[in-house]
Amino acid sequence: MHGYSRLGTARSSNSPPSSPRFRHGRSKSSSGRGSKQSIVQKVIFIFISAVFRRRGVLLLAPLLYISGMLLYMGSVSFDVVSLKNGVVVVHKRPPPGSVYRSPQLLSVWNSKVHQVWKPCVDKDISKAELPRSNGYFIIEANGGLNQQRLSICDAVAVAGLVNATLVIPIFHLNSVWRDSSNFKDIFDEEFFINTLRNQVNVVRELPDDVLQRFDNNISKIVNLRVKAWSSPTYYLHKVLPKLVELGAVRIAPFSNRLAHAVPSSVQGLRCLANFEALRFSEPIKRLAEKMVDRMFKKSYQSDGKYVSVHLRFEEDMVAFSCCEYDGGEEEKHEMDIARERSWRGKFRRRGRVIRPGANRVDGKCPLTPLEVGMMLRGMGFDKTTSVYVAAGNIYKTDKYMAPLKQMFPRLETKDTLASAEELAPFKGHSSRLAALDYTVCLYSEVFVTTQGGNFPHFLTGHRRYLFGGHAKTIKPDKRKLALLFDNPNIRWEDFKRQMRDMLRHSDQKGTETRKPSGSLYTFPMPDCMCKQAEAKNENVHLLL
């Protein structure tokens, strides 16, 4: 299934949609002698005037311009054409994913891509009936939304490797995320099972006869302790024999339990699970589609600029980073409480030294909203840019978000883009809210990541998968930013030059392929994508 249909749209276009334009129809009143002429003669007269007279050329210029634009955008169909006060108004509602069309952003992505990558995941590799299962494989996915996603995809790969029947993963109630959602609350369970049917058998729960063998208590099924990043050989030599012997095994927790470097057949299962089988549940998908559509409409009002920012400046993230900002003793006290609440003594262990200054110089501190705003303005994004901020509860929101809102008045979040009634079913469920953020970021013209983590890693790879191999993602050099922000003598022109260089670097890194130690979820080429034989330079598409 193609990536664009994840949001339930059946339409797609090879050409990015244009920004809406007003097209004015003009007429020229004829002279007294001209009033006696026929309509055909009038047309001929206007045409001859356009060719041989300068005034005629000027009058005909708008018509020629409109005709040329319509020919140039021949593959783009318009949804609504209306007449208002004598002015033709053309509206275009793009399918999710038809992006990268604003004039300002034409100068952002300039990498010379001569070959475009296309998804090449084969969902029907094996049409024959699956061999008899060796037993049931149960895993517990822990962490937030994208850590759960990692566990699910790796579980699919392991189940295929050892020929096991995968039980729909159990979600662990994380002390930090505090989300009680189960698999079907976040992902489309039926679609997941059906997409994998030719590769891995998936069941919603253990059959009664199997469960009875364990006194109807899943916790009595042996829990195998598997080291992080274990190889396929380990699973074949250690896990498979236990699976055959017992008929069912579980691994809890299962996060990061499979190595990055695995055979292509195993990588193919990862590709299929992550980029094709996992789509969000219907309630999430419906609201996310509305939010994406609203961002498109808002961006049209500002010439089509649609930028999303993953802003990791929540209290827990600031506390975990052990960085200092401008809150003084009050901030230090609040961060000590937050660290103790979430990590219970981890930061008070003997020998542990917290060095906020060293963390900042090393680029480990989350960017503040002000720093993100300055970076984007330095890169050339102005006040007309529509910015979507994906984040949890920002630490001291009123204080830290004010400068970013002032720099970008067209700033949106979940709470402004969706109504309170629409968000009500998702409140108290951080993973479901993160799924909304994920989708709005996925279809933005530019995605800005400000801190590491599974969210930007998965999102960057997913954007590569959907958008021809280029992530269209700004990944700032936070070490350099720390030096620039802390330099009181730097001039704005010098800062802008440094930001443009940083933007060019992100552009060059946009089409990176996976290295042996890299994650397929961030770098889907070449495991999940193939080069199109005769693809044009991407900049040509940008001009359409």
The 10s digit of each residue's pLDDT in 375-426 is 999 999 999 999 999 998 999 999 999 999 999 999 999 999 999 999 999 9
**What pLDDT is stored for residue 122 in this prediction?**
76
Average pLDDT value for residue range 140-155:
94
pLDDT above 70 as % of the chain: 75
- What pLDDT was estimated at residue 100? 41
Mean pLDDT for the chain? 82
- Contact between residue 482 and residue 367 where contact means Cβ atoms under 8 Å apart: no
pLDDT, tens digit, for every residue of 192-224? 999 999 999 999 999 999 999 999 999 999 999
Burial class (CB in 10 A: 0-12, 13-18, 19+), 457: middle
Entry field: residues in the chain: 544
- 175 pLDDT band, cuts 50/70/90, is low
CA separation for the pair 397, 311 (Å, rounded): 12
365, pLDDT greater than 50: yes
Question: What's the pLDDT tens digit per position in 488-497?
Answer: 999 999 999 9
Higher pLDDT, 233 or 180: 233
- Quote the tokens at residue 153: 């995809």
Q: Is the pLDDT of residue 76 over 60?
A: no
What stretches of 135-227 adopt beta strand conformation (E)? 136-141, 165-167, 170-171, 202-203
| Start-to-end C-alpha separation, the chain | 26
Q: Are 250 and 222 in contact (CB under 8 A)?
A: yes
Q: Which candidate, 50, 202, 51, 217, places its Cα nearest to that of 137?
A: 202
Residue with more model confidence, 244 or 41: 244
More confident residue, 529 or 3: 529
Regarding pTM above 0.85, the answer is no
* Cβ atoms 523, 103 nearer than 8 A: no
